[in-house]
Chain A
Amino acid sequence: MEFHTTSSPHTRRVNRVDKVMLQVVLALLPGIVAMAFYFGWGVLINIALAVISATAFEALIIRLRKRPVTPVLLDLSAVVTALLFAIAIPPLLPWWLVVLGMAFAIIMVKQMYGGLGYNPFNPAMAAYVLLLISYPVEMTSWLPPFMLAEQPLNPAQILAYKFAGILPEGVMLDAITMATPLDQMRTNLDLNRMISEIRQHPLWGDFGGLGWEWVGNWFLMGGIWMVYKRTITWQIPLAFLGGLVGMATIFWLFDAESFPFPLFHLFSGGAILGAFFIATDPVTACTTRAGQLIYGASIGVLVYIIRTWGGYPDAVAFAVLLMNMAAPTIDYYTRPRTYGHGGGAV
């Protein structure tokens, strides 16, 4: 009879990187399916392209850095980056922009800073911002949800457009693309229209844009599941959404005809996706609990400010990148007090 005794801890959580990343991928699935349902095959083609190119660039750069390739590829972090990026970009984006974005995300933003765990900025959002600044027209031409599409494209036509820039006979790009609900709201508000008047357009659903709000709902499900599984903490998403809704409520109560109501902000653009999947990136976010509250709330407030008064219709990417810069400082000032030591945090 032999007793194997090892020192504590005796129960442990299996919390490996690949497992966490796999949970993120699983949590993203409902939202991705909803997006593909409302916006068509372009979403899935983007995802395939992004995942393939991100994996290829990761393998390439790891080889150049003379590190073992397989473990890095198997940790799935490049896949998560690719998924988040592919969800954020318009379904009809030309293929080479997808590949360019992934090259920038993996090579410049992630691996040049030292790889997973060392990158100060969220790679997917940095790539999104790079493309948004460089190619604003392509990056803001969204498809309408299928209920509103007058000339829906079949998968072959989408592939032809994405890879060769060819549209079917008699179809103009302007006729099949549409501004996002946030874009629409912003443009119309800038023209001094009233919100009750703007919402007459068929683009609108109950809270946000038609279709968009349901995509948001499904991402919310995945996000809540991740909080339940403790893949992410509740602090960042709650503070993010709280900051956004808080700001929106104040201004909505002040003037409901010029500032959209709070649920609109919650269910438009990338708010839900950003709160649960992007802002919670364990590498670039704050690590202390108090810091996460500050970090999340600041992103929410920044999103509202940039959406309302900034130059771009949606702001999750910009807000996340700005707070990525502040995260180390927030962590520094919110370090928890060691038990038995003085009250000062620093």
Chain B
Amino acid sequence: MADTSYRELITDGLWHNNQALVALLGLCPLLAVSNTAINGLGLGLATTAVLVASNTTVSLIRNYVRPEVRLPVFVLVIASFVTAIEMGMNAYFHELHKILGIFIPLIVTNCIIIGRAEAFASKTGLSRSLVDGLSVGIGFTLVLLTLGGMRELVGQGTLFDQAHLMFGEAARGLTLRIEAFPGMLIAILPPGAFIGLGLLIMVKNLIDKRLAARAAERIDYPEGAEGAANP
């Protein structure tokens, strides 16, 4: 594990092993909160913060925790950070905190966080755990943001609605609104989350397939070797 390069950690977290699109972890908050881009971004950033903090801490204490009690200890660590972040959000982003509601405390139960703590941070050094937490968190946030944006756009014809909840009053102008489009309610409702996530996974698989095909082409015809390879 220790020889994983940072580059690999980052591409894995953001794309190849994206926890939402490939591992399909953390679906409960992903599906529930992604009804607008801002909600998705808010929860994604909160999750990222918890993930970075918990990965770092778990990595630091990994040699002192006995394996028999490691899971309760990890949960305790994660719960402390979630509590701290929830209080912080309540203080600084009160309106957003009210909208996200129960899903901020529920970050404790997000499988991604305990998964990374157990599978990665508890076996890996500090700096790699930190990078892993950050890239996995940002990968999750990007999916939340994309799915939220998609559902918001189809569902009510807006993008970055209520941006002021997150970026302050100056960001009100950030909201895009398609006036003529009445919106398709189902995208905001739970079925829209499942359909949207399915479409995102489809697009990701499609891109991977194209990339793999292109890579295979390159290997088939190395430069200057066409004649020799195909007698």
Instruction: Give chain B nearest CB distance to A113 CB in angstroms.
Output: 11
Which A residues touch B186, using CB under 8 A? 130, 133-134
Cα A100 to Cα B187 in complex, Å, equals 14
Which A residues touch B189, using CB under 8 A? 133
Cα A107 to Cα B107 in complex, Å, equals 36
Which B residues touch A108, using CB under 8 A? 195
Q: Which residues 253-308 of A sit at the B interface, judged by CB distance below 8 A? A: none
Which B residues touch A134, using CB under 8 A? 184-186
Cα A135 to Cα B189 in complex, Å, equals 13
Cα A108 to Cα B191 in complex, Å, equals 13
Interface string of A296-333 (1 = CB under 8 A from B): 00000000000000000000000000000000000000
Which of B186, B191, B195 has most chain A Cβ within 10 Å? Answer: B186
Which B residues touch A135, using CB under 8 A? 182, 184-185
Instruction: Give chain B nearest CB distance to A165 CB in angstroms.
Output: 11
Which A residues touch B182, using CB under 8 A? 135
Q: How many A-B residue pairs have C-beta atoms within 8 angstroms? Tell me.
A: 13
Which B residues touch A133, using CB under 8 A? 185-186, 189, 191
Chain A at the B interface: mostly helix, strand, loop or mixed? helix
Interface string of B27-62 (1 = CB under 8 A from A): 000000000000000000000000000000000000
Instruction: Give chain B nearest CB distance to A311 CB in angstroms.
Output: 13
Instruction: Give chain A nearest CB distance to B230 CB in angstroms.
Output: 26
Cα A135 to Cα B184 in complex, Å, equals 7
Cα A34 to Cα B191 in complex, Å, equals 35
Cα A134 to Cα B151 in complex, Å, equals 13
A135 (CB) vs chain B CBs: closest residue:
B185
Instruction: Give chain A nearest CB distance to B79 CB in angstroms.
Output: 37
Q: Which residues 173-197 of B sit at the A interface, judged by CB distance below 8 A? A: 182, 184-186, 189, 191, 195
Instruction: Give chain A nearest CB distance to B6 CB in angstroms.
Output: 38
Cα A332 to Cα B170 in complex, Å, equals 60
Interface string of A105-141 (1 = CB under 8 A from B): 0001000000000000000000000100111000000
Instruction: Give chain B nearest CB distance to A122 CB in angstroms.
Output: 16
Instruction: Give chain A nearest CB distance to B200 CB in angstroms.
Output: 14
Which A residues touch B195, using CB under 8 A? 108
Which A residues touch B191, using CB under 8 A? 133
Which A residues touch B185, using CB under 8 A? 133-135
Q: Which residues 113-137 of B sit at the A interface, judged by CB distance below 8 A? A: none
Instruction: Give chain B nearest CB distance to A161 CB in angstroms.
Output: 16
Which B residues touch A100, using CB under 8 A? 184
Cα A100 to Cα B186 in complex, Å, equals 13
A136 (CB) vs chain B CBs: closest residue:
B185
Cα A100 to Cα B181 in complex, Å, equals 14
Cα A133 to Cα B184 in complex, Å, equals 9
Cα A130 to Cα B195 in complex, Å, equals 12
Instruction: Give chain B nearest CB distance to A212 CB in angstroms.
Output: 27
Which A residues touch B184, using CB under 8 A? 100, 134-135
Cα A133 to Cα B186 in complex, Å, equals 6
Cα A100 to Cα B183 in complex, Å, equals 13
B195 (CB) vs chain A CBs: closest residue:
A108
Interface string of B63-84 (1 = CB under 8 A from A): 0000000000000000000000
B154 (CB) vs chain A CBs: closest residue:
A134
Cα A135 to Cα B182 in complex, Å, equals 9
Return 13 A-B CB contacts under 8 Å, by A number: A100-B184, A108-B195, A130-B186, A133-B185, A133-B186, A133-B189, A133-B191, A134-B184, A134-B185, A134-B186, A135-B182, A135-B184, A135-B185
Given contacts A133-B185, A134-B185, A135-B185, 10 further A-B contacts (CB under 8 A): A100-B184, A108-B195, A130-B186, A133-B186, A133-B189, A133-B191, A134-B184, A134-B186, A135-B182, A135-B184
User: What are the 4 tightest A-B residue pairs by CB atom distance, in nearest-first order?
Assistant: A134-B185, A134-B186, A134-B184, A133-B186
